Amino acid sequence: MIHRDEPAGTFLLTGDGFGYALAVEPDGSPRHLHWGAPLDPADPPRLLADADAARIGSNTWSRPRAHTEELVTAGGARFDECALALADAPLDPRFVESEVDGDRLALRLADGPLVVTLRYEVRGPALVRGLELHNTGDEPVTLTRASSATWSVPWQVGYHATTLGGGYAAETTVRRVPLGPGKLVCESRRGIPGHAFQPWLAVDDDAGEDHGELWSVAVAHGGSWRIVAELSGDGHLHLTAGAGDAVLRLSPGARLRLPDTIGVYSPTGRAGLTHRWHDYEREHVLRRPDEVRPVLYNSWEATFFAVGHDDQVALARRAHDLGVELFVVDDGWFTGRDDDRGGLGDWRADPAKLPGGVAALADEVHALGMRFGLWVEPESVNPGTDLYRDHPDWVYRWPGREPTAVRHSYGLDFADPDVREWAFGWLDALVRDGHVDYLKWDLNRSLTDAPGYASRCHEAGFRAVVDRLRAAHPDLWLETCASGGGRADLATLSRFETAWPSDNTDAFERLAIQDGYAFVHSPLTMSCWVTDSPGYLTRRTVPLAFRFHAAMTGTLGIGGRLADWPEADLTAARTFVALYKQIRATVQLGRRWRLRADPDRTAVCHVGQDGGQVVVLVFARTVRQSHLAPPIRLRGLDPDARYRDTTTDVTYTGTFLTHHGLRPVLAGDYASSLVVLTRE
């Protein structure tokens, strides 16, 4: 809902559990007034008057109210981190007109020929802010900064930033650091969101799991991005968010829509923040948001590049016998792909490996009653392929220089319409002729040898190919992967049914990665595989139950060498998969509550959409004599209800489970427990 107070020049935007207010001042500058709890429509004019009072105390070194501009631009006495800057002139856009359309507000500003439109949209618990540039003049306009929004956080006693990140095989670790005066810059310059940070950041003063306020911002963009948290010396914090830095040239008449940024506020601590992000994703972002994801098998860790028709069929039979519903053949199925040095670009099934082609393998998988999926990496090419020989000009390279090889491949320029046409052509044929139901779309290199703005153009090209493919194959499912979780942003997740959060399948280490992924993203897209132990990355030995339980906190998959699994493990796996199918609607679509998240003990509980089923998973790295079985308090339960443990038949009250807790049976190292409760 949007309320406009015409005489005061204020706007109040109200969503599910939040309010956001801004004003247009008499001189036409847009002023930020509020982001936080919902307000009364009478409040914004009063806030504006109060901002005037604050001016009295402001110093003479900056513009009056310098820290509360709705969009910080470069020019005049402004010294804060700016969202927009011109190369050769100051920028001070002033109000031209506004338009309110339901839950949308557009504020049009202009400075000379450059028209800047600030776009706002209330979407459930989130506010979406975007920005559009239009060069109405006869000369080109050059920008040296083009972020999408300045988000102001209300004044706090102290500030902490929470980020989700790490690196390859260590993505999305939750970190909380104090902010001092100055800047925290989180970004990717890689042409994809990258592994170091999710394009997301949250700020709080003293919030905990259950209490306190948090303000968080995400950039919905699958390319390079940047979020800067700047705390001024006098205690104002703002977050500048958008696509990564680049010099942008707007030719006369050109319009440019910058990526959306999304702001979510929580008054109920970190748990509330997570739930609001999940609600936003489910209601406004994800594809097939109400459909549970199938149990998947992926061949990567079982066969790596040694793909063969008979071996894959044998794996598929075993996987099917365990209850798997979707069988995915990973890398290695096409010509020249015996390792990662060749093949990318020549997307023909290797006749020595798949004599009947992709379709023959797909048909056998279908005959078993499973869906069939295949791995692709459309944006890369290996030198030595026919594609590279025929089109050396399709790769990113600086004039006169050799392209940079990453994992032995070069980057294909998806901004080039010929490249996009080629990519769509073979993907379309592969899906149709290969009887493919599911594609795992991987990218194992960062964008190199291209100017900064190429990231924006590449991302737009990538989206265009994906959108065209989806339109041509409405039943196709997609998985996003970039060497694990390198491309799991909101723009990409709006096009892909599922994501591969990390190559790290060590169940113990993965708990932290999953915890961070699910901090903001719904478990519906969080693909988790049970693989062999010891795993190929960490060589840690983890029991099968722990591996299954860890994967059952998201979308369960299996990725082990099933031919080597002893009968006892296969029998246990069958039971785990069957149990998972009984709880997956709760895990994937219900409310997720973090109960414990420390290296020694992790516990999570999922409460089904109707509250009828509760799934509790507890993990201990080691069980100490002095600490045998502390009770784990559950969250999200109805205190007036009774819950029955479906294994022991013991019935508990909601108050007992909430205030005292369950005592799951844990023993030894890498111990885990899964408890399913049903509401009586």
Positions touching ligand DGJ (CB under 6 A) are 300, 330-331, 375, 442, 444, 481, 483-484, 500, 503
Phi-psi region of 279 (alpha: psi -120 to 50; beta: other; left: phi over 0): alpha
Least Å from the CB of residue 172 to ligand DGJ: 14
Nearer to ligand DGJ, 260 or 377 (CB): 377
Closest approach of ligand DGJ to the CB of residue 454, in Å: 23
- Which one, 9 or 484, has the nearer CB to ligand DGJ? 484
Least separation in angstroms between CB 378 and ligand DGJ: 13
Smallest distance, Å, CB 505 to ligand DGJ?
9
Smallest separation (angstroms) from ligand DGJ to the CB of 557: 11
82/61 Cα distance (integer angstroms): 17
Tokens of 336: 């020249």
Task: Using the minimum distance from each CB to ligand DGJ, give the nearer residue, 487 or 549.
Answer: 487
**Nearest approach, Cβ of residue 650 and ligand DGJ (Å):** 41
Give the shortest CB-406-to-ligand DGJ separation in angstroms. Answer: 13
| Min CB(480)–ligand DGJ separation in Å | 10
Q: How far apart are the first and last CA of the chain?
A: 39
Whole-number minimum distance, CB 201 to ligand DGJ, in Å?
A: 25
Cβ closest to ligand DGJ, residue 304 vs residue 426: 304
**CB closer to ligand DGJ, 199 vs 485:** 485
- Cα–Cα distance for residue pair 91/301, rounded to 1 Å: 53
User: Rounded to an integer, what distance in angstroms lies between the CA atom of residue 79 and that of residue 66?
Assistant: 8
Q: Is there a contact between 437 and 373 (Cβ–Cβ < 8 Å)?
A: yes
CA distance readout (Å), 467 to 243, 460, 474: 21, 10, 10
For residue 609, report the phi and psi dihedrals to the nearest 5 degrees.
-55, -35
Measured CA distances, 473 to 438, 457, 496 (Å): 10, 24, 13
- Residue (69 or 503) nearer to ligand DGJ, CB: 503
Nearer to ligand DGJ, 307 or 614 (CB): 307
Q: Which residues, other chains included, contact 414 with Cβ-Cβ below 8 Å and sequence gap of 6+? A: 379, 420, 423, 457, 458, 461, 462, 464, 465
Virtual CA dihedral for 231, 233, 236, 242, nearest 10 degrees? -30
Q: Which is nearer to ligand DGJ, 70 or 479 (CB)?
A: 479
Cα 98 from chain centroid (whole Å): 32
**Separation CA 191–CA 196 (nearest Å):** 13
Select the residue whose beta carbon is closest to ligand DGJ and give its number: 331
With both helix axes pointing from N to C terminus, report the angle between 453-472 and 417-433 in degrees, rounded to the nearest 10: 30
Find the shortest distance in angstroms from Cβ 559 to ligand DGJ: 8
- Please report how close the Cβ of residue 368 comes to ligand DGJ at its closest, in angstroms: 22
Sheet order of strands, 651-653 included: 591-597, 601-607, 613-622, 669-679, 642-645, 651-653
* 330 or 350: CB nearest ligand DGJ: 330
CA–CA dist 92, 83 (Å, integer): 12
Cα separation of 297 and 532, whole Å? 13
Give whichever of 327 and 500 is closer to ligand DGJ, judged by the CB atom. Answer: 500
**Which has the closest alpha carbon to 335: 345, 350, 347?**
350
Quote the tokens at residue 106: 């557009």
- What whole-number distance in Å separates Cα of residue 491 and Cα of residue 507? 28
Nearer to ligand DGJ, 484 or 636 (CB): 484
